[in-house]
Amino acid sequence: MKKELTIFDNPKNIRRIHMVFFAALVLVLVAEAFVDMHGEFHMESFYGFYAVYGFISYVSLIVIAKLLRKILMRKEDYYDD
């Protein structure tokens, strides 16, 4: 059998990926300065609107999901009998 990949097991590589990712984040924020973001809604032209909205949406999704889990979660064999 072929040798297995371990590239993502190396903490150094993970750190590199994080660095590239954070650099890309800065890049898409800066890129906004060079395009006309004017859209159908006034809100779209606020600087970094999409970045903020994406971040807040994501965090609120996880927070609400965790709350919902308290109500919805049952044991795996809940329907078996």
- The site for another protein (CB under 8 A) is made up of 1-2, 4-6, 8-9, 18, 21, 24-25, 28-29, 31-32, 34-41, 44, 48-55, 57-59, 61-62, 64-66, 68-69, 71-79
Distance CA(29)–CA(55), nearest Å, equals: 13
Question: For residues 61 and 54, is the Cβ–Cβ distance under 8 A?
Answer: no
Could you tell me the smallest distance in angstroms from the CB atom of residue 8 to another protein?
6
C-alpha pair distances (Å), 5 with each of 2, 10, 23, 76: 9, 11, 26, 33
